[in-house]
Structure 1
């Protein structure tokens, strides 16, 4: 799972990136416009993995992983023009993500001026959304022009039916985007989503808007009634300072002082999972306890394939027990004796937190 962090210059993108990854990338204020992408892969915090490791005491513990990309280079705002623009390389960098995390400045700091002079989260959200939809509109218009020329060749042309279906779909999307509305609001069939996948439309990507607050103050009310989206907040600078403390006791003191029960990294990952429709299942044993990320509602066969293609190719059955049942039983053997371990076929739906053992033969 790869999540792209975007936002206006001096919004605190890199600060949030450091909170999420535990990194220490420089956060010096800059004017913006310079294209740069910093990436980091970080384990997904999951107390269930910790509990399973305590139960099995494996040689190795492996968490699910998420990759974050801190994407800098949004230009235009720094030139005093009250607009922003996306370069071609920036569009490509944003497209190369499963979801977006839009950091929106909601703090005042005279030492770090806002590129548009005033702090206005609703305005900043609308400006970036407009750029994302404008990029998508350009792609749609260009593709429709080529499809129209192709369709003029007539029904005898080999790709006529596919081209016709694509032309009708894009023609349906065009007026929606022309109104400045994101493509994630359009209800699409699975076949239509598959047809559009290659376009990597920016406004179709799930988006988590993170209001970056100062050390004090409440988050401003933001109305964002779009599908596959959510609005949350965090105190970026404060949490980065706390996250970089190496002394656990000192960290706990600071968190208690500011009323934090957990750092936002775990919460943002959970919200990202929800937006992307992802889940974790587990494999356990003396050698390794491991979390695997798959789509929510994945079948036993899909989960087997996530572990290794040979398991999917030679799939026979899967032993499945829920995390809660295993923890309550105290051991796998006890869960089996209590009838909590079930044998499932390849089409069985696996749920978040299930522990599976794949029986296979190749």
Structure 2
């Protein structure tokens, strides 16, 4: 399931520092692998304490965590929608991602110049929003030109609905609002809206890059961002990229934990960022547990048992018979599969079972 989060931001906001922290295997936890597919794509392990706890009970030969792909997208400048800077490449790269991590500079530092001369995260956010909205407006207008005649003259219901969806988006974009602020009532409208693949309809998380002193509770810039995005249904994460690069220098997990405790953080910003990116992509995790391996598998929230079986192998989905399901908390409380069965806590589920985050699954199939 190669869903990707793209990291975007203006130049010099700490975007690449963060990406480099993500890409440093030591930055996360005891054993987080990281590999680069191409210079700007990182496959990063998702930190999950449940995996470690399950492994302590089962003592498997190996532990396999799940991953998420993060793409470092070149810094955007004003005029990108018109091809300025790496404009077209930047916009094409964003189009290919499924969610956006928008890094905003929320720190003062005279040694690091800002492209617009001063620190103002709300203005920075609006520059990128504006460029993406302009591109979306271009997309919408060219689609309107194609369907308008069919919608207004013929009896084509589908064209009529598409036209109404397009007009709704056009009105919002012209008011300087992103496509994600527009809601549709019917499933059909929602489907058409999704198929437009608009840049500003992607889920977004604002990553406020702060100075060391603001790492725990943020600062005035973070509050400005909070106020600016309050109607956007977007998450905000506070990270100090400078601290994250220091954490990445420590050799052992214990050293990193001690350092975090000293500055008042329970978990590194990078670990929180990865978990949030995973959630932003609407992903959840189920586990398979055995003496050979304890493994985390990624599935799209709301998936049914056969689709989740297909994540392991397509044959599992084709020949799905049933799923044996143990709830994570039951396994932890009773400490083994045998004890769970004895307590009558293992359920047998069919094709309509919606898999929950943390479920321990065993699939029965026949091909």
Which range, TM-score by smaller chain? 0.7 to 0.9
Tell me the CA shift for residue 85 of structure 1: 7.7
310, 321, 330: which one pairs with 1:325?
330
1:232 and 2:229 aligned = no
Deviations 1:112-155 (A, max 9, x none): 11111110112111221222222111100111112225558845
1:214 aligns with 211
347, 352, 357: which one pairs with 2:352?
347
Q: Residues 160-199 of structure 1 correspond to what in structure 2 (within 5 A)?
A: 160-188=156-184, 189-199=186-196
Tell me the CA shift for residue 194 of structure 1: 2.9
1:201 aligns with 198
1:75 and 2:72 aligned = no
Tell me the CA shift for residue 259 of structure 1: 1.4
Tell me the CA shift for residue 249 of structure 1: 4.2
Q: What is the aligned residue count?
A: 342
Q: Residues 255-294 of structure 1 correspond to what in structure 2 (within 5 A)?
A: 255-294=260-299
The farther-off stretch of 260-269 and 229-238 is 260-269
Q: Residues 120-131 of structure 1 correspond to what in structure 2 (within 5 A)?
A: 120-131=120-131
Q: Is the 1:37–1:71 Cα contact (8 Å) retained in structure 2? A: no
SS of the aligned residue for 2:325 comes to strand
Report the CA distance shift for 1:65/1:264 in structure 2 as closer, same or farther (over 3 A): same
Report the CA distance shift for 1:108/1:37 in structure 2 as closer, same or farther (over 3 A): farther
Report the CA distance shift for 1:248/1:299 in structure 2 as closer, same or farther (over 3 A): closer
1:33 aligns with none
Q: Is the 1:280–1:292 Cα contact (8 Å) retained in structure 2? A: yes
TM-score (normalised: structure 2): 0.86
Report the Cα distance in structure 1 between the residues aligned to 2:275 and 2:254, rounded to whole angstroms: 25
Q: Is the 1:37–1:69 Cα contact (8 Å) retained in structure 2? A: no
Gaps of 5+ in 1: 25-35, 79-83
Q: Is the 1:212–1:236 Cα contact (8 Å) retained in structure 2? A: yes
SS of the aligned residue for 1:199 comes to coil
310, 314, 319: which one pairs with 1:309?
314
Report the Cα distance in structure 1 between the residues aligned to 2:188 and 2:71, rounded to whole angstroms: 29
1:359 aligns with 364
Tell me the CA shift for residue 255 of structure 1: 1.9
Q: Is the 2:8–2:75 Cα contact (8 Å) retained in structure 1? A: no
Report the Cα distance in structure 2 between the residues aligned to 1:2 and 1:196, rounded to whole angstroms: 20
Report the Cα distance in structure 1 between the residues aligned to 2:119 and 2:87, rounded to whole angstroms: 24
Q: Is the 2:9–2:75 Cα contact (8 Å) retained in structure 1? A: no
Gaps of 5+ in 2: 27-37
2:112 aligns with 112
Deviations 1:65-121 (A, max 9, x none): 11111111412499xxxxx98722211101111110000001112221111111011
TM-score (normalised: structure 1): 0.87
Tell me the CA shift for residue 251 of structure 1: 2.6
1:18 aligns with 20
RMSD over aligned Cα, in angstroms? 2.3
